[in-house]
Amino acid sequence: MAEATMGVRLTGDDMTEVSRGKLWTGRVIAGLVALFLLFDAAMKFVKPKSVADAFVRSGWPIEVSSTLGALLLISTILYLIPKTSILGAILLTGYLGGAVAANLRLEEPLFSHTLFPVYFGVLVWGSLWLRDSKLQALVPLRQNSQA
Give the model's confidence band at 99: pLDDT under 50 very low, under 70 low, under 90 confident, else very high: very high
Per the CB < 8 A criterion, the answer to whether 85 and 78 are in contact is yes
Q: Considering the chain, what is the average pLDDT of its residues? A: 88
**DSSP letter (8 states) at residue 112:** I
Which residue type occupies 19? S
Give the model's confidence band at 61: pLDDT under 50 very low, under 70 low, under 90 confident, else very high: very high
Q: What is the pLDDT of residue 50?
A: 95
Using CA atoms, how far residue 119 sits from 52, 89, 98, 99, 131, in Å, is 24, 13, 14, 12, 18
pLDDT value at 69 more than 70: yes
Using CA atoms, how far residue 116 sits from 37, 59, 71, 108, in Å, is 13, 20, 19, 11
**DSSP letter (8 states) at residue 142:** P
Instruction: Calculate mean pLDDT across residues 48-56.
Output: 95
15 three-class SS: strand
